[in-house]
Structure 1
Amino acid sequence: MLDSIKIRLQYLLPKQGLTRLAGWGAERRGAMLTQWVIKAFAWYYKVDMKEAQDPEFSAYPTFNEFFVRPLRDGARPVVSGLDMLCLPADGAVSQLGPITDGKLFQAKGHFYSLEALLAGNYQLAERFKEGLFATTYLAPRDYHRVHMPCDGVLREMIYVPGDLFSVNPLTAANVPNLFARNERVICVFDTEFGPMVQILVGATIVGSIETVWSGTVTPPREGIIKRWTYPAANDEAAITLEKGQEMGRFKLGSTVINLFAANQVAFVPQLSSGTVTRMGAPFAEALRLHAAEPVTSENVI
């Protein structure tokens, strides 16, 4: 009964207004009030401040600065190896697996369309047909910077307006098409392992989504799809990010979705729904199918 009330409230409450209010409050410098809010939040969600670059609450004049606090050096070692990809974020695996018939598994019998997730971009969706996806949920207590699973060259960023439902496990199990209906920022990369997409999904009271190359992407929330394109690797203006490098952040928690093309990588076997994740730990390994092919002029890289 309580769960159904929580879900119904999400449909009824003014999520956009609540999110604007939360974003405004999180940027205020409220001195003692801000410190009280930060301490109460850290206590309630059991935030481990020993991992922070600065573990003292007084180091954070706003709630947002506390929320996107950097970690101390060495707190998240990045898995080595040219064939290994690393986890992009702290959190927990919501779901992962194959993209089958153009659909991704959400939870509890719910599936959603790859094309809808990619804002109707059927050409981009075709590149991930029969590929793999992974959905990582970042709880309020988690580190909220998102990093690169592998080296990549940014080719496109798409802002998609949408709803701002919560993205916690309860909502994922009860709101159809959750990730294809929420606000999101789609980032498309060229990588050694084929095309890779990393999607930052907005949610209720997520005051801001930012990327390292563009700063704040949202707000403002103008209600229209926006698209930016970037040069290829051989251009001196190309934006290249390395494995483990920060690529974006949430100001209040949310979800990251990764898409990989077919026959390029395989997720490490220890990952499954509910697995706790730590940025930099093993995520996937290259299949390297081309290693078995004869060397010809067509497949020499």
Structure 2
Amino acid sequence: MLDSIKIKLQYWLPKLALTRLAGWGAEKQAGGLTRLVVKAFARYYRVNMQEAQNPDLASYATFNEFFVRPLREGARPILAEPHVLTLPADGAISQLGPIHGDQIFQAKGHHYSLEALLAGNYLLAELFRNGLFATTYLAPSDYHRVHMPCDGTLREMIYVPGDLFSVNPLTAANVPNLFARNERVICVFDTAIGPMVQILVGATIVGSIETVWAGTVTPPREGIIKRWTYPAEGMADAIELAKGEEMGRFKLGSTVINLFTPGSVQFAPQLHNGTITRMGAAFAEIAAVPNAAATPQT
């Protein structure tokens, strides 16, 4: 009964207004009130501040500054083996496995399509048909910076407006097409294993989604799809990121989705639904290196 009420509230509540309010409050320097909120949040969610570069809760001027706190050096060692991809974020595996045709598994009874997730870009979607996907949920207590699973050159970024449903496991199990209907930032990379997509999914009270190359992508929320393209590897102004390097962050938590082409990788055997993830640990092994890794420009 309680779960049913929670789901209905997801539809009834003014999610955009709540998100704007949360984003506004999280950026305010409110002195003692900010310190009180940060301390209460850290205590309630049992945030491990010993991993933070700055463990002093009282030193954070805004809630967002605390929320996107960097980790101390060495807190998340990056596996150096060149054939191993590393996990992009702290959190938990929501789902992972094969993409059946163009269908991605969301939760029991729910699938969504590649084309819907990729905002109708059928040429891009075609590359990942029968490939692999992984969905990582970031809880409020987690480290909220997102990193690269492998070396990559950014080729395209697409901002897709959408709903702001919560992305917790309860909502994923009950709201159809959740990740294809929520706001998201789609990042397409050229890599040694071919095209790889990393998607930052928005949610209720996620004040903003940021990338290291563009800064704040959202807000503003203008209700239109936006698309940016970038130079190829080796060209002037190409954006090249190394394995383990930060690529984006959430100001209040959400979900990361990775897409891999067919036959390119095999997920680490210890990963399954519910596995706790730590950025930099083993994500997948390279299964094959394609002859060409061209990402279509549409």
TM norm structure 2: 0.97
Structure 1 position 208 matched with structure 2 position 208: yes
SS of match in other structure, 2:139? coil
SS of match in other structure, 2:146? strand
CA displacement, residues 36-67 of structure 1 (integer Å, 9 cap, x when unaligned): 00000011111000000000012210000000
Q: Partner residue of 1:25?
A: 25
Structure 2 counterpart of 1:17, one-letter code: A
Residues 12-161 of structure 1: matches in 2 within 5 Å? 12-161=12-161
The whole-number CA distance in structure 1 between the counterparts of 2:79 and 2:110 is 33
SS of match in other structure, 2:42? helix
Change (3 A) 1:289 1:150: closer
Aligned length: 292
Structure 1 counterpart of 2:96, one-letter code: L
SS of match in other structure, 1:180? helix
The whole-number CA distance in structure 2 between the counterparts of 1:220 and 1:205 is 14
The whole-number CA distance in structure 1 between the counterparts of 2:214 and 2:262 is 30
Deviation of residue 101 (structure 1)? 1.7
The 4+ residue runs of structure 1 with deviation greater than 3 A are none
The whole-number CA distance in structure 2 between the counterparts of 1:26 and 1:195 is 35
Q: Partner residue of 1:166?
A: 166
SS of match in other structure, 1:65? helix
The whole-number CA distance in structure 1 between the counterparts of 2:59 and 2:105 is 41
The whole-number CA distance in structure 1 between the counterparts of 2:157 and 2:241 is 14
The whole-number CA distance in structure 1 between the counterparts of 2:237 and 2:247 is 17
Q: Partner residue of 1:293?
A: none
Structure 1 position 4 matched with structure 2 position 28: no
The whole-number CA distance in structure 2 between the counterparts of 1:58 and 1:235 is 45
Q: Partner residue of 1:228?
A: 228
Structure 1 counterpart of 2:110, one-letter code: H
SS of match in other structure, 1:233? coil
The whole-number CA distance in structure 2 between the counterparts of 1:15 and 1:64 is 19
Deviation of residue 234 (structure 1)? 2.4
Structure 1 counterpart of 2:285, one-letter code: E
TM norm structure 1: 0.96
The whole-number CA distance in structure 1 between the counterparts of 2:260 and 2:137 is 18
Deviation of residue 289 (structure 1)? 6.3
Structure 1 counterpart of 2:264, one-letter code: Q
Structure 1 counterpart of 2:284, one-letter code: A
SS of match in other structure, 1:20? helix
Deviation of residue 288 (structure 1)? 2.7
Structure 2 counterpart of 1:109, one-letter code: G
RMSD: 1.0
CA displacement, residues 162-213 of structure 1 (integer Å, 9 cap, x when unaligned): 0000000000000000000000000000000110000000000000000000
Deviation of residue 257 (structure 1)? 0.1
Moved more, 132-141 or 234-243: 234-243
Structure 1 counterpart of 2:184, one-letter code: R
What percent of counterpart residues are identical? 75
Change (3 A) 1:289 1:208: closer
SS of match in other structure, 1:188? strand
Gaps of 5+ in 2: 293-298
Deviation of residue 130 (structure 1)? 0.7
The whole-number CA distance in structure 1 between the counterparts of 2:98 and 2:289 is 18
Does the 8 Å contact 2:192/2:289 carry over to 1?
no
Moved more, 51-60 or 84-93: 51-60
Q: Partner residue of 1:268?
A: 268
CA displacement, residues 212-246 of structure 1 (integer Å, 9 cap, x when unaligned): 00000000000000000000002021000000000
Structure 1 counterpart of 2:74, one-letter code: G
SS of match in other structure, 1:170? helix
SS of match in other structure, 1:136? strand
The whole-number CA distance in structure 2 between the counterparts of 1:288 and 1:172 is 32
The whole-number CA distance in structure 1 between the counterparts of 2:32 and 2:108 is 44
Q: Partner residue of 1:197?
A: 197
Structure 2 counterpart of 1:16, one-letter code: L
Q: Partner residue of 2:186?
A: 186
Structure 1 position 256 matched with structure 2 position 256: yes
